[in-house]
Amino acid sequence: MFYSLFYFRVVKPIWYRQKYLALLLFPFEIIYRVCIFLRKKNCKPVFFSVPVIVVGNITVGGGGKSPFVIALSAYLTSIGYKPGIISRGYGRQVKSQTPIDVHPQDDPVNVGDEPRMIAEQTHSPVIIGSDRVRSAQYLLEKYPDCNVIISDDGLQHHRLGRTCSICLLNGEEQLGNRHCLPAGPLREPLSALSSYDIVIDRQKNASLLKTYYEGFIQVREERCVKPLDFFQNQTVHVVTGIAYPESFLEKLRTLGMTCIPHLFPDHYFFSQKNISFNDDLPVVMTQKDAVKCQAFAKQNTWFLKMRFELTPLLQQRIRHTLK
CATH code: domain of residue 62:
3.40.50
Backbone angles phi, psi at 200, to 5 degrees: -120, 115
Is the domain of 191 the same as that of 299? no
In a domain, 53, yes or no: yes
On the CB side of 43, how many CA atoms lie within 13 Å of its CA? 16
Is the domain of 49 the same as that of 192? yes
What is the model's pLDDT at position 8?
65
What is the model's pLDDT at position 307?
96
Block means of pLDDT (10 residues each) for the chain, length 323 residues?
62 82 92 95 96 96 90 98 95 84 94 96 95 97 98 95 95 89 94 96 90 97 95 98 92 98 92 96 97 96 97 97 88
Q: Which long-range contacts (CB under 8 A, 24 or more apart) does 6-9 make?
A: 7/265, 8/263
Question: Residue 93 and residue 108: Cα distance in Å, rounded?
Answer: 9
What is the model's pLDDT at position 4?
57
Is the domain of 186 the same as that of 58? yes
In a domain, 37, yes or no: no
Is the domain of 47 the same as that of 156? yes
In a domain, 19, yes or no: no
Q: Is the peptide bond before 182 cis (omega within 30 degrees of 0)?
A: yes
**Number of structural domains in the chain:** 2
Residue of 106, 174, 96, 189 lying closest to 134 (CA atoms): 96
Burial track 134-169 (b if 16+ CB lie within 10 A, e otherwise): bbbbbbbeebeebbbbbbbbbbbbbebebbbbbbbb
| Residues 52/149, Cβ–Cβ less than 8 Å | yes
Residue of 71, 68, 117 lying closest to 90 (CA atoms): 117
Is the domain of 64 the same as that of 49? yes
Is the domain of 147 the same as that of 283? no
Residue of 160, 159, 151, 145 lying closest to 85 (CA atoms): 151
Contact residues for 287 (Cβ-Cβ < 8 A; gap 6+): 117, 217, 303, 304, 305, 306
Is the domain of 91 the same as that of 190? yes
Amino acid at 298: K
| Residues 146/50, Cβ–Cβ less than 8 Å | yes
Amino acid at 271: S
| Residues 258/284, Cβ–Cβ less than 8 Å | no
In a domain, 26, yes or no: no
What is the model's pLDDT at position 80?
96
Is the domain of 214 the same as that of 204? no
Is the domain of 317 the same as that of 170? yes
Whole-model pTM? 0.94
What is the model's pLDDT at position 140?
98
In a domain, 266, yes or no: yes
In a domain, 292, yes or no: yes
Is the domain of 62 the same as that of 95? yes
Is the domain of 165 the same as that of 287? no
Is the domain of 199 the same as that of 284? no
Question: Residue 295 and residue 47: Cα distance in Å, rounded?
Answer: 40
- Residue 238 is part of which domain span? 210-307
In a domain, 20, yes or no: no
In a domain, 272, yes or no: yes
